[in-house]
């Protein structure tokens, strides 16, 4: 396997290529000729247009068959953007691109330098030189968003879409459960025996009633309407309608997660649907149910509380929805989350033939304090605003370890997601698999801009 640096290239074998990027990201691709321009809008492959000749996008995985690209195509540029629109890439975990043959080992890996204020990254390009296909690492940031990148490559991007004509079709959707394109057919919620129509209820209450009927049929406990979540969801739906744009962050910088914690609701886990297009509760539920990932919160056993907001854009008439599905914070839940992260971390070490790490209460105290501090003071870094480093925080917590290492992450919604993200990043992976570390502490806090903030603090005692 080859580790690339920006500007480096590597020849690729013939065959179907699979390109993956793990983490809270969307992957897109632009198919161009030698002049660097697309032949038409069909050359832009993204979540609402997931395929073109020789290219298919499935979630964050791009499958390329270079020999089947359209005539004249000689380059495929892989583009990375945050899964949550409007998020700066610099606030998210490091992204790592992997290129492999289908059903084969990884051939090439590239982790670009962390961007700052950019919202889109030209990650790499797969290109033809003579009869040989190669991959080149780029790592070029864009601050203009995905639309700006598309325009530069020759894609026609409309600044303002016309209002949808009836009957309404979901125009766009996005949320923590993954990007969503147009829905595939699903059994209408109103046509399922035992599912209420929502008549006589407010839109948000009707959505939750529909979901609870589905949960009852699946043998899952119902969710309760929480007025704090409802207030946060309504405020956020109103903000999206006012700016006619989906996103987890309002123009003034307030994030959906800050709205939630600002109401006094402390969550352990949260999922959200940010959707525009469906006009009724039934249409919204049908839209979300049309995709297994998108509809996952409806049947998730951990969801206890919910709140739904609905607002209409004054200019376009588009309906904007925010639906929140949450598990309230508890000390037991926090402890369970930390244990799961530690177990997954040790599973990776044991798979590499290394001894497991012991959980140390002092490292845990320091790690938890750092996650809580990042949330409270709205920063994301190893160095705190006043300049303290991981070893400083460990010493302040009473640790006497001979060596200290730290991994941080934000935005991942589960222990499995965060450990997978760390293992896909060479620097974070090196900490997890460092033979010299023998103790570990885990920190986890929720809120602020990214929603979740994770800390792993590693220590060397020298006793093993």
Each residue of 15-48: pLDDT tens digit? Answer: 889 998 877 888 889 999 877 778 887 888 887 7
Residue 68 has pLDDT above 50, yes or no: yes
Q: Are 78 and 30 in contact (CB under 8 A)?
A: no
Burial of 374 (0-12, 13-18, 19+ CB in 10 A): buried
Q: Tell me: the pLDDT tens digits for 351-389? A: 999 999 999 999 999 999 999 999 999 888 999 999 999
Q: What's the angle, vertex CA 82, arms to CA 312 and CA 40, rounded to 5?
A: 80
- pLDDT at residue 181, as a whole number: 30
Helix (H, G, I), strand (E, B) or coil at 17: strand
- pLDDT at residue 211, as a whole number: 97
Q: Tell me: the pLDDT tens digits for 307-359? A: 999 999 988 889 999 999 999 999 999 999 999 999 999 999 999 999 999 99
The H or E element containing residue 107 is: strand 106-110
Residue 204 has pLDDT above 80, yes or no: yes
**Which tokens sit at 9?**
């290239």
φ, ψ for residue 231 (rounded to 5)? -65, -45
Please choose, from the candidates 57, 48, 64, the residue with its C-alpha nearest in 3D space to the C-alpha of residue 101: 64
Distance CA 20, CA 104 (A): 13
Distance CA 57, CA 36 (A): 21
Q: What integer best gives the mean pLDDT of the chain?
A: 84
Distance CA 380, CA 372 (A): 11
What is the largest distance, in Å, between two alpha-carbon atoms of the chain? 70
- pLDDT at residue 103, as a whole number: 67
Q: What percent of the chain has pLDDT over 90?
A: 49
Please choose, from the candidates 139, 124, 35, 44, the residue with its C-alpha nearest in 3D space to the C-alpha of residue 78: 124
Distance CA 339, CA 357 (A): 12
Q: Tell me: the pLDDT tens digits for 115-170? A: 766 788 888 999 988 888 999 888 877 766 677 677 777 765 444 333 333 333 33
- pLDDT at residue 359, as a whole number: 97
Q: What is the pTM of this model?
A: 0.62
Distance CA 134, CA 418 (A): 31
Burial of 327 (0-12, 13-18, 19+ CB in 10 A): middle
Place of tokens 């900490």: 431
Per-residue pLDDT averaged across 435-464, rounded? 92
- pLDDT at residue 384, as a whole number: 92
Distances (CA, A) of 373 to 183, 369, 431: 40, 6, 22
Neighbours of 147 (CB within 10 A): 14
Per-residue pLDDT averaged across 272-283, rounded? 92
Please choose, from the candidates 321, 192, 261, 179, the residue with its C-alpha nearest in 3D space to the C-alpha of residue 447: 261
Categorize the per-residue pLDDT at 189 as very low, low, confident or very high, splitting at 50, 70 and 90. Answer: very low
**Which tokens sit at 82?**
């945050």
**Which tokens sit at 456?**
């792993």
Helix (H, G, I), strand (E, B) or coil at 25: strand
DSSP string, 147-175: HHHHHHTT----SSPPPPPSSP---EEEE
């Amino acid at each position: 396997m080859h580790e690339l640096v920006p500007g480096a290239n590597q020849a690729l074998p013939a065959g179907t290529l699979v390109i993956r990027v793990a983490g809270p990201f969307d992957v897109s691709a632009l198919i161009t000729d030698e002049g660097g321009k697309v032949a038409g809008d069909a050359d832009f492959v993204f979540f609402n247009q997931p395929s073109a000749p020789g290219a298919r996008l499935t979630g964050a995985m791009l499958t390329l068959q270079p020999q089947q690209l359209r005539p004249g195509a000689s380059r495929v540029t892989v583009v990375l953007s945050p899964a949550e629109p409007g998020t700066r890439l610099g606030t998210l975990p490091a992204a790592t691109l992997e290129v492999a043959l289908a059903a084969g080992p990884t051939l090439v890996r590239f982790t670009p330098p962390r961007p700052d204020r950019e919202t889109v990254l030209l990650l790499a390009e797969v290109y033809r030189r003579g009869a040989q296909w190669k991959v080149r690492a780029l790592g070029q940031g864009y601050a203009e968003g995905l639309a700006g990148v598309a325009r530069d490559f020759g894609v026609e991007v409309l600044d303002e879409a016309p209002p949808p004509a009836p009957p309404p079709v979901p125009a766009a959707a996005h949320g923590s459960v993954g990007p969503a394109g147009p829905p595939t057919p699903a059994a209408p919620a109103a046509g399922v025996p035992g599912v209420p129509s929502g008549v006589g209820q407010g839109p948000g209450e009707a959505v939750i009633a529909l979901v609870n009927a589905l949960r009852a049929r699946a043998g899952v406990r119902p969710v309760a309407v929480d007025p704090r979540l409802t207030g946060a969801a309504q405020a956020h739906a109103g903000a999206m309608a006012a700016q006619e744009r989906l996103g987890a962050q309002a123009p003034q910088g307030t994030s959906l997660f800050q709205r939630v914690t600002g109401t006094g609701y402390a969550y352990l886990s949260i999922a959200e649907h940010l959707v525009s297009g469906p006009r009724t509760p039934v249409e919204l539920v049908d839209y979300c149910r049309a995709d297994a990932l998108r509809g996952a919160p409806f049947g998730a056993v951990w969801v206890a509380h919910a709140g739904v907001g609905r607002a209409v854009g004054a200019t376009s008439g588009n309906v904007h929805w925010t639906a929140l599905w949450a598990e309230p914070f508890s000390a037991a839940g926090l402890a369970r989350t930390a244990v799961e992260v530690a177990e997954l971390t040790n599973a990776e070490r044991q798979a590499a033939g290394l001894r497991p790490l012991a959980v140390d209460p002092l490292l845990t105290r320091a790690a938890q304090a750092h996650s809580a501090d990042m949330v409270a003071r709205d920063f994301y870094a190893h160095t705190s605003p006043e300049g303290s480093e991981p070893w400083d925080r460990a010493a302040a917590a009473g640790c006497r370890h001979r060596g200290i290492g730290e991994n941080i992450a934000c935005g991942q919604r589960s222990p499995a997601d965060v450990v997978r993200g760390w293992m896909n990043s060479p620097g974070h992976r090196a900490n997890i698999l460092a033979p010299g570390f023998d103790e570990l502490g885990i920190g986890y806090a929720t809120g602020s801009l990214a929603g979740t903030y994770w800390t792993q603090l590693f220590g060397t005692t020298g006793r093993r």
